[in-house]
Structure formats: C-alpha cells, structure tokens
Structure 1
Amino acid sequence: MSSTTFGQKGVEAVHNKDYAAAVPLFDKALESSDSPAWLLARAQAQQQLKNYDAALRDAELAYHVAADRGSGTSRKLMIDAQYRRATIYFKLGRYADSDCCAKWSMNLAEGRPARENDGVEKNVDKDGKYTLTYEDAVADKKSQPGQNGTGGGAAALASATTAKTGFENEWNRAYAWRSQALGMMKGLPEDHPGRKVSVTKIPARPVKQKAEPVVDASDDEQPASAPAGKTTKADSPAPGSVPDEKLKLRVDFYQTNQAVTVSIFVKDVKKDDLRVEFSENQVQIAPLSREAAPYVKPGDRESSSTFVLGGGIVPSGSRWSATPRKIELVLQKAIPGVKWGKWGEEKIGAVASEEVQTAASSSQPAAQPSANQAQPLPAKKNTSAPPKPTGAPAYPTSSKSGPKNWDKVVDGEDDDDSKDVNAFFKTLYKGATPEQQRAMMKSFIESNGTALSTDWSDVGNRTVETVPPEGVEAKKWT
C-alpha cells in the first residue's frame, strides 16, 4: 500500500479509537512523508496508549513541519500541535507547562505571530513557580476572536470589534483546557514540580526517527540502543517557526555602466504603506508579506528585509517603484563603469549599518577597477614556461574580419595605447588568468559588447544577455 493509504487507515483507526492499530499504520505512512496531520494523529494515539514521550515528540515535530511548509493549513496545524502539547503535559502532571501551551494555542487562534515573544512562560516568581491562577485564566477573554457583543454591557462593547479568524472553536477548546490545568494546580503542594515552568513556546526540533516495533510494556528485552518512547532532541533549539532562508524573496537584476536595477518579487505589495530607505551599501524595505509565513504582521522582524548590496551606491540618485507583485529598485552606482559581480544578498529584519558594511565588503567579489585606479603588479612570468602559441585562439566571433588574436593585440600595444580609451581593457585582459580571459570573451561576445565579466563561475553556465545603455533599445539584426 502507498503511504497515503496507510495514513488514511491510521486516521480511521484513531476515529474508531483503535489506537494500538493506528500507531503501526502511521509508522508506515510517515516513512516517506512528514505530514503534520499524521504526526498529530499518531501523537493522539500514543497519548491514549500512555506513551507520553513519543506523543510529545510527534506533537513537537508536527509544529515544526507545519511552520516550515507555510501553507494555508499551517496555522491550524500549529494551533493543534500546541493544544496537543498542553494535553500531554497535563497527563505528565506538568500543569504549569500545560497552561502555557494552551495559552500559546489561543494566541495562534487569535491570529498573533507565531514567533511573537509574548513572555507567557515568564510568569513565575523568584522560586520559579507559576504565578497565574484559575481566576486569571477565566478572565482572559479580551482577545477572544469572533465576538459580536450580543451579550450587552461594557464587555460586549469591548469585544464587538474583535475580528473573526476562523479558529474560534480551537480558541474555545484551549480556553476550556486552561481551566482544567490551573484548577489542578489549586490543590497542589507549594513544592510540587507541576507548579514550575520548564517549557518553551517553540520547542527544540526532534530528530525524525525510524519506527520501532511496538513492544509490550512488560517485555524485558527492549533494545538497549533505542529505549521505547525515548525523546531525542536536536542539539539546539530551532530559532523560530520558519527558517530565514525560506523567508527570503526571489530577486532578479541587471546592470548598466551607471545603474543596477533590482527586481524583488513579492505578493500583495501595498505601495502606500511601503517604506524604502537607501544608504551607501544597503536598502531596507518594510513591510513585506511572506508566502512562507502568511501571518506576519507589520512590526514583526519578518516583515522587513535589509538588502545588502554588492557595491556602493548614491542614495540620493537611487529610486524605487512598486506594483502589487513586484518592487523595483534602480540603484545609481557610486563608481560608474564598475561591474558588480552580484546584486548582493537579503537579510531578514533590520540590520545595523556597521554590520551591513562588513557583510557587503566580505560578500562583494573583486570589482573591475576603473581607469584611474592603481593596477596590481602582474606576477613575474616563469622563464621556463613554454612560449605562447602563435595561432589565434579559436574564440567564436561575429566580426566580419574573422577571429581576433587577442594575444597579438596585447603584445603589440605601445605607449600611445595608454592614451586610448581601450587601453584599460587591454591591460585588464593581459593581466587576467586564462579563466578570467575566457569569461571576458564569452560575456563580451554574447552580450553584443554591452557587458564584460571576469567571473567565469557567473557566466560560464548561462548566456549573457544584452544590456543596452539607458535610453537605448536592443534590436535583432534583420
């Protein structure tokens, strides 16, 4: 059977409360899939079988997989994962931890950012005991989604504008669970471990493990290398619900001697709300919507990006424009005629200017020097090296006069050439490595003389496009 068939049969088994049969079915289904829905269903089955460590591992992994996918159902699955954590901690007697997870489930149901630093787990006294009470939880209804104020009175007016999120049932479920968790804490001794908080909002990501055979609890011959139900954690906690690499936007660019045009592809751009700030080596843009994290709100770290540039620009001479699907930056080069090796890189959030400068200088490849910059001294030639071939290199060319022997062009230059506008390019070619010379020829010919690159890793595997100067339109010869 396929993994889908195993998963569907596992869901049916959970629905029929046949939890012992459901676990091996999900084990098979999850061998080739990381479906968060199946992980949550298996967590429910493991919880009913009192395999709490295994259940907690599945709930935590389901949270991370749902957050990574960033699909339309991700928030619902993340809400369910936090609620499942709350029920498991309750069964383990960790009532303070259970209340924290239930509150995080409510926050997600209200539409709040997944990575918001809400400080729920910090409600502890000097002895590390949870300070929230049953009465606090009962009164915590001010952010309940979907309220229309039908009850009348001041409370109704306060909640009349609360927006619907589509997760009202999930919010009510977590709200009711909090009363159970905090109700249990009422009768606990002051030194009971269930009063202490040891949970974090975003759990450490468990390592996906191969399914172990179901072993009866009374069996004394369990494998020593993999104890049943042992939770294996990653070496360090995950930094957030969605990795920064998945948040980054698609970017394209082209350049002329005077400017670099960068196109940033992002959906649902609101031009009136957009803030674009230029500096000498970076551009900061906010707010930005993210497909990988659809619930990001203005003010969140993820709602802004710092674009560290591959070269210096003139901020006052740069401009931007926006459409609902794209933001376009036209960046005036600080040094005209210098070709950028790449446009730069995107960093999520705001980055300090001194940090940006370091990043730009470390990531920027060596640019072609301008004619008035000092040239590096060429390396001494090895006298034992074989002489250059006298034949012209067989480079492809569109010239009517046939292939050009660039070696002879360079060897035949004299002092008068230093006054020629092409002298710099001849000197550059003469001092370049064979790989750089090959990149120069390929980029110059394929771009019809409008681009020149010395970076073979950039142009070797693509066709260099024609980039005419501003105000000039490239047309094919007919």
Structure 2
Amino acid sequence: MSSTTFGQKGIEAVHNKEYAAAVPLLDKALESSDSPAWLLARAQAQQQLKNYDAALHDAELAYHVAADRGSGTSRKLMIDAQYRRATIYFKLGRYADSDCCAKWSMNLAEGRPARENDGVEKNVDKDGNYTLNYEDAVADKKSQPGQSGARGGAAALATSVSTAKTGFENEWNRAYAWRSQALGMLKGLPEDHPGRKVSVTKIPARPVKKKVEPVVDSSDDDEPVSTPAGNPTKADDPAPGSVPDEKLKLRVDFYQTNQTVTVSIFVKDVKKDDLRVEFAENQVQIAPLPREVASYVKPGDREATSTFILGGGIVPSGSRWTATPRKIELVLQKAVAGVKWGKWGEEKIGAVASEDVQTATSSSQPAAQVSAQQAQPSPSTAKAPTPPKPAGAPAYPTSSKSGPKNWDKVVDGEDDEDNKDVNAFFKTLYKGATPEQQRAMMKSFVESNGTALSTDWSDVKGRTVETIPPEGVEAKKWT
C-alpha cells in the first residue's frame, strides 16, 4: 500500500472519529512524506486520544512544513495549524496561550503576513498574566474578512468596516468562536493560576522529526518478505504485540430499551462462519476478530479475542447476535427489565474469565447488577420491589451515534470539533455581554428581522435597525 493510500485512509478515519485507527495509518504515510495535511490529521487524532505532547509536535511541524512549501494551500494549512495549537493548549489548561494561537489563526485568515510582529503574546501585566479580557475579544472584529456594514444575516455581527473576502471566512469564524471559550475560562481563574501565563510564540520552534524506519515498497501487498529468522512477515505489518491495547479496541455504539441493550461493534472483514460469540451473565466474548490496525493478528492469537465487560447483568439464553462483513450486533436481554444502563460497558483485549470480572456499572447503579433470579418476586412477597433508577443514566432509550446523553449533567467544553454551531456561539456571546450590550443585541436582532446583530447600544438606541438581508435575498413584509 502506498503512502498516499495510507494518508487518505488515515484522514478518512479521523473524519469518521476513528482516532485510534487513524494514528498508525498516518504513521505509515508520514514515513515517506512530511505532508502538512497528514500531520494535522494525526495531531487531531492524538489530541482526541489525549496524547497532547504528540499532538502539539505534529501541529507545530505542520506549520513549518506548510510555510516552507509556499504552495497555494500553505496559508490554509498554517491557519489550521495555529487553530490546532489553540485547541491543544486549551485542553492543557493553558488558556492564555490558547487565545494567542486562536488570534494568530484569525490574523492569517485576514490575509496578514505570517511573520508580522503583531505583539499578541505581549498583552501581559507586570506579573506575566494575560491582560486581554472577554469583552475586548468580542469587539475585536475590525478586520473580519468578507464583511460589509451589517450584511451577512444573524451569523455576522454588525460592523462599520468593509473588508474584502479572503476565502478563509469560515476559518476566521471558527477561531473567533474558540477565543470566546478560552477567554471565558480565563474569567474564573485566580490571579496566580498558570493558565493566565503566556509562554507561546507566534512562530513555534521547529520540532525535530521523529526518527522512523523507511517504508518497504512492495508492488504486491500480499508478497511476504524474508526476515532473519526465516518467518514470512508482511512488509507493512508491525511486530506482533507492538500495538497498544487501546489502539486495538474497536468502535462500539449502543442503544437500549426497557428490555434489551443493542450493542454494535464495528470491525471490517468479519467472517460470520468462523465467529464464536459466548454470552455470560456479565460479559460477552468474541473471537476471532480481524484487527485492521494490527493486520498480523491471526485466529488463536490473544489479540484476535475481545471480552466485552457489560454495564449490567444479562440473561445469556435470551441474548443473540448477528454479523455482517463490517459489523457485529449484539442484542442483550437485560437481567432486570426497566433499569437503564449508564453505559454499555468496556472492551478488554484477550480472554477474561467470567468469574474474574464485575459488570462495568458504577457503584451508584447497583440495580443493574441484580440477577434475573433476584428480580423475581418470591411466593411470600406481596409486591416485588421497584428497582431504583440508576444515577446518571439516560431518561429514555436512544439511538444516537454518540451514545446516550445524561440530560441532568451535560459536560461542558469537550470535543472542540463539535462545539461550533452558531446557536451555541451566540448563547455564549449573549451570556458574557454586559446588560447594555444585551439590550443592543436584542433590539438590533428583533428590529432587523434577524439580519443584524449589534453590541453597540449607543449606535442602535436612537434609531430603528433596518432589515438588510444577505445578497441575493429580497426582504418582504408579512401580509
């Protein structure tokens, strides 16, 4: 397989949020070429896997490689590299550094010189704390590309400066929205918190490329090469046991009803006739499983077996499974009907004895671990006890691709790629505005029929804000 194919597959895996599978594919691709696009894809995957040092290494190297190449896509890749630095520093709790990188991403999107001395990182006081505040960042729109007056609908804030389009308007908006998160976090930090310190530079030090073995180019992927021991090994296979368990684990999705939990296990090239699925009261064991991330795995190897420790007790005889070439689906009958599982469970690589494990539910969910026999009322019992609702469990069945959501406790700030919709941004903007700015936002938005949004009360308080629709759209009065 060529490096280009590895790179394309790696980027595709990142797009599908299969981060553990993406890293080894991009490792292979980057052995022969320092493609900034591949480096940025691997940086995103490493960030989602919480390998922040590796992610930062790739983002900074991508910036330098893109700048060196000077091709037509270089500026876009440099913008993306600065944005990736911003998201990584945010995850590390370095919020001042995160805001600086987001601002540099905006500057590049505006078409400003990459080596311009803009002094962003010098906004610090005598104690070294970042002095830029949330309100300053919200008002920092004078150079927003592609804006003219109040045009652009609800997605554009009112501005009095007309600027030319650069082709990077979406990238600018993305970095601008990210700044609201970084500076929002800074608002609540104590004065001596390290997250207030600025330690980044606009152009990062060039990282040293990690030393890797060259790719063995073979015209036939199935052609074995001889090793000193005389054992045939595929040229693109890592050594057995060299892939960590976390990267071997498969992508799993699930939904549940009062009676069953349906678990979907995504794995390619499943051979249904060879598959062995064993149900127990607290786990399901499956073998042999092909591992795309470690293609050396053979039937009988430890890596070819997975034990799925379940999030609650099941009735093995009432459970079933089906398989297609790309997915294994388990339909598990709950031992206690009506009890919601907080999660489906967890995957363990290799065989695990049933008696050596407990269900993967938390201690706050004892009802999910009750056996089917315990749930049945005895003849002397007038009424069976009602199982308590597990703490933190979802209120209703769900088929969401991201799994069940606990609406009583929504975690803030996770997944930088998913927190970018316009409504969420405006909620954050409104919440952080002063009462006067909120009045201006409400008045301008309502009077303009949603086509303008201003935070300047002195500008809008004495006039009716005109409806100015986007180009190509005609405003009509309701009759």
TM-score normalised by length of structure 1: 0.44
RCO comparison, higher one (Cα < 8 Å, 6+) = 2
TM-score normalised by length of structure 2: 0.44
